[in-house]
Amino acid sequence: MFRIVLPVLLTAALSTLSCAPEKVEAESAVSISRSAAMKYRDESQPRIRSVTFSSRREPEPGTLDELRHLGISHVTLVTFGYQRGITDTTIRFDPDRRWYTESDRGIQAIAEGAREHGVGTILKPHIWVGGYDTAGQRRDMIGFDTEAKWTAWESSYRTFILHYARLARNIDADVFVIGTELATAARERPDFWRRMANEIRAEYNGSITYAANWYAEYEDVDFWPALDLIGIQAYFPVSSDDRPSLTDLRGGWLPHKQSLSRIADIHNKPVFFTEIGYRSVVGSAREPWQWVSRKDVGVVETDLQLQADLFTAFFLEVWNEQWFAGASIWRWHTAAESAGPRRAIDFTPQRKPSLRVIREWFAKDMQSGNAQDSAPSTSRTN
């Protein structure tokens, strides 16, 4: 069984990139109690190497083979609950959603296929607010002015999240994310999250985390002691320049690394980047969190090298830190959904130079558990 254990996220190293695509059995890891959790990971063990995978339809044959050859240890699957507005107290969700990787059926099938390839699963529910408008996704502002409304929302959220905790148990997920970017609820209702952590542990025996936003949230979460990992949506800005050098990008990580090390010290827990990603456009180091819309196609200038350099800077500056448990890269699509003018400027590394960077660093981690401080020759240095 492929299992994450503490104090470090011990995942069985995958077979080498050249192995045949037939079923691979993942090694079992030695169980360590959660009470032994600590900041520093065992350098002999690989980190979590994940991509967030999304598909409208059932993936083409060979999709998981392609991901395994990328060097992943895990695949992250995101599903959604829907809320009309930030003051609405009802969360609706449909386990039979038409979007394949968001449905219970699709999640179960992908997790089973991943396991056959020696790859674990991370399940990460989100709340989607309002209609199909990424600009309106202010889930961080979900909050209420009366105790009765908070209680109603928490009851609805409990139903939603426990459904997916049970699904995480059924698919033998290694990590379950109990909430994502719900900053107001996390700040104002920490006791609710502690209770949810306890209830989820009664349903699910894997590692649990919460995905806090990089900005004005992760340092203020009071309930990290109730979880196994400090989860962060890691869209940290690292340069204000349109086309910064690799040296500039590496320097931009310094203040963030100091804060990350400090939070790991305070809570004696490793940090896991529940998301990290960069658009392949000019200026993406400045606001990495900005979404790509259809109106950007043909208007926003592409910069494939900058995306590759941003990933290189991340790996060079963060990957080998002892407090760092790994990352899930946003995001990966099926071959049929990975092409087109919008994909050319969005977050995916597919069909782009950044893919080579990710593959090289994942391969190093698979082979040695300690990637070396050296940049690929494709990096922009000045």
Give the model's confidence band at 150: pLDDT under 50 very low, under 70 low, under 90 confident, else very high: very high
Q: Which residues pair with 128 in a beta bridge?
A: 82
Q: What percent of the chain has pLDDT over 70?
A: 82
Q: What is the DSSP letter of 225?
A: G
- Better-predicted residue by pLDDT, 206 or 380: 206
**The pLDDT value given to residue 132:** 63
3-class SS of residue 275: strand
3-state helix, strand and coil shares in percent for the chain, rounded to the nearest 5: 35, 15, 45
More confident residue, 41 or 177: 177
What is each CA distance from 376 to 247, 305, 314, in whole angstroms? 13, 12, 13
Residue 34 confidence (pLDDT): 41
For helices 304-317 and 354-368, what crossing angle results, to 10°? 20
The set of residues, in sequence order, having a beta carbon less than 8 Å from that of 84 and lying 6+ positions away, is 90, 129, 130
Judge whether 210 and 124 are in contact, CB under 8 Å: no
pLDDT value of position 291: 77
Residues 262-289, mean pLDDT to the nearest whole number = 96
Tens digit of each residue's pLDDT (9 = 90 or more) over 350-382: 999 999 999 999 999 887 654 444 333 334 444
More confident residue, 187 or 44: 187
The 3-state DSSP class for residue 271 equals strand
Mean predicted lDDT score pLDDT of the chain: 85
Of 31, 5, 42, the residue nearest 228 (C-alpha): 5
Specify the pLDDT at position 356. 97
Reduced to 3 states (helix: H, G, I; strand: E, B; else coil), residue 29 is coil
The Cα 382–Cα 377 span in angstroms is 13
- SS3 per residue for 104-142: HHHHHHHHHHHHHCCCEEEEEEEEEECCCCHHHCCHHHC
What's the CA gap between 317 and 252, in Å, rounded? 10
Question: Which is more confident, 367 or 201?
Answer: 201
CB 148 within 8 A of CB 95: no
Residue 18, both tokens: 């050249």
Q: What single letter denotes the amino acid at residue 163?
A: H
Q: Is the peptide bond before 331 cis (omega within 30 degrees of 0)?
A: yes
Model pLDDT, residue 354: 97
Q: What is the pLDDT of residue 98?
A: 79
Give the pLDDT mean for 93-118.
94
Task: Report pLDDT for 305.
Answer: 97
Confidence (pLDDT) at 131: 73
Q: pLDDT above 90 covers what percent of the chain?
A: 72
Mean pLDDT, residues 295-320: 91
| pLDDT-derived band at 136, boundaries 50, 70, 90 | low
pLDDT digits (tens, 9 = 90+) for 2-60: 334 443 333 333 233 333 333 333 332 222 234 334 556 666 667 999 999 999 999 99
For the chain, domain boundaries: 34-368
Chain segment 308-351, per-residue pLDDT in tens: 999 999 999 999 999 999 999 999 998 878 777 777 888 999 99
CA distances from 5 to 99, 167, 291, 325, 339 (A): 31, 20, 34, 11, 37
| Predicted local distance difference test score (pLDDT) of residue 265 | 97
pTM reported for the whole predicted model: 0.86
Of 57-66, 100-109, 172-181, which range is least confident? Answer: 57-66
Residues 6+ apart with CB under 8 A from 117: 21, 23, 24, 64, 65, 67, 68
130 vs 67, higher pLDDT: 67
pLDDT tens per residue, range 226-250: 999 999 999 999 999 999 999 999 9
Which helix (H) or strand (E) covers residue 337, if one does?
none
CATH number (2.40.110.10, 3.40.50.1220, 3.20.20.80, 3.30.930.10) of 34-368 reads 3.20.20.80
